[in-house]
Amino acid sequence: MSYLDRVSECNTFDLQRYLAFTIEGQRVGLVRREFAALLARYPQVFDVNHEQVLLAPQLGDFAARSAAVEPVLRELAAHGHILGWRDEPLAVTESFSAAPLMQIERAAANHFGARTFGVHMNGFVRREDGLHMWIPRRSRTKPTFPGRLDNMVAGGQPIGKGLLDNLIKECAEEANIPAAIARRAQPVGLISYCAEVPEGLQPDIEFCFDLELPEDFAPRNTDGEVEEFQLLPIAQVAELVRDTREFKPNCALVVIHFLMRHGLLPPEHPEYVELAQRLASPTLPLT
C-alpha cells in the first residue's frame, strides 16, 4: 500500500450516479439519482430533470429556501430515507467564503453532496528522541469509524462560528487542552477530497492546524468520543498511514499533509508531487 492509496480511498466515486444540485445557477452539490427521484415528489420545492436538481426559483432567499426544504427533509427522515437526524444546521454554499444559499439539517448533507468544512489538528511533541504525535483511537461506540485512529483534535465546522474558536472548543472537549495552549495552534493549509458515502457524496475541506505541545502535557478525553490517546514516534505514525487502514480515511490525509510540510515525507519521494496536487484537489467534481 502507499500514501496515494489513502488519497484514492477518499476520492472514489462514480459521477454517473449523480445529478448536479443547483441553486440560483450556483452548483452547490450532487444528488444521487435514487434520492433525486424522492425529491421529485415535492415539485413545489425541487425541480428535478434528467440533468440536474434545481431548487424552485420562486424560493428567493436563504430563509425562504431553508423553510421550504426543512419539512421535506423531515418527511423523508420519517420515512427512513434520512437517518441520524441531529438538529444541527449546515450551510449549503458554493464555497467556504460565499454567502450560504440555505441551511439544511446536517444528517441530510451527504444526500445533497453539500460541501462540508471542518478543522483537524495534529498535536505533536519534539522530544530528544525525535518528533512524536498524539494519536487518539476513536471510541468503539461512535456511529462513524468506531475504533479507528484519528487526528488529535477534529470537528465539523458549525454555521457562524470562527475556525479557531471551533478548534479551541474541540481541543477542550476531545483532549482537555486548555484554551491558552490551544490558541497557539497554527493554521497550515487544508486538505480537500470528495468521498462516496452510503448516503451520497461528501465533498469536504478540512482546515489543518499544527499544535506543538509541551512534553509534560497529557491529553484526556472529556466527551467520551476517544478510547485512548497514544504518543507515537512520527515514523510509526507514517507507517500506520502508509501500510494500514487503521486511520479514519480523511485523518490519514491530514497526517500526510503534516509529513510533507515537516520534511518527513521528502520531495524526492516518488509520490510527492501527485500527493501535493491531489491533497488540494477541487472538491466538487465537474460533470
Q: Is residue 207 near its own copies by the rule CB under 8 A? A: yes
Compute the least distance from the CB of residue 270 to its own copies, in Å: 4
Angle between helices 249-261 and 234-243 (to 10 degrees): 130
| CA quadruple 172, 174, 175, 181: dihedral sign | negative
Q: Is residue 270 near its own copies by the rule CB under 8 A? A: yes
Compute the least distance from the CB of residue 22 to its own copies, in Å: 20
Distance CA(285)–CA(193), nearest Å, equals 10
Q: Which residue in this structure is represented by grid cell 498524539?
A: 134
Compute the least distance from the CB of residue 257 to its own copies, in Å: 9
Binder of its own copies out of 2, 26, 95, 287 (CB under 8 A): 95
Binder of its own copies out of 162, 225, 243, 249 (CB under 8 A): 162
Sequence-ordered strand ranges (E) for the chain: 18-23, 26-32, 46-48, 52-55, 89-92, 102-105, 116-127, 130-138, 153-156, 186-197, 200-212, 226-233
Binder of its own copies out of 55, 76, 205, 253 (CB under 8 A): 205
Q: Which stretch binds its own copies (CB under 8 A): 56-64, 74-82, 185-193, 233-241?
A: 185-193
Binding mask 66-85 for its own copies (x = CB under 8 A): --------------------
Biggest alpha carbon–alpha carbon distance for the chain: 65
Q: Is residue 44 near its own copies by the rule CB under 8 A? A: no
CB 212 within 8 A of CB 185: no
Distance CA(16)–CA(35), nearest Å, equals 14
Compute the least distance from the CB of residue 196 to its own copies, in Å: 20
Nearer to its own copies, 163 or 240 (CB): 163
Q: Is residue 272 near its own copies by the rule CB under 8 A? A: yes
Distance CA(245)–CA(151), nearest Å, equals 14
Compute the least distance from the CB of residue 96 to its own copies, in Å: 5
> What is the residue type of 39?
L
Nearest to residue 188, comparing CAs of 121, 266, 111, 118? Answer: 121
N- to C-terminal Cα separation, the chain: 30
Backbone angles phi, psi at 166, to 5 degrees: -65, -45
Q: Is residue 271 near its own copies by the rule CB under 8 A? A: yes
Compute the least distance from the CB of residue 274 to its own copies, in Å: 7
Q: Is residue 277 near its own copies by the rule CB under 8 A? A: yes
CA–centroid distance for 153 within its chain = 13
Compute the least distance from the CB of residue 259 to its own copies, in Å: 10
Q: Is residue 281 near its own copies by the rule CB under 8 A? A: yes
Which residues make up the interface to its own copies (CB under 8 A)? Answer: 95-97, 162-163, 186-190, 192, 205, 207, 260-263, 266-268, 270-274, 276-277, 279-282
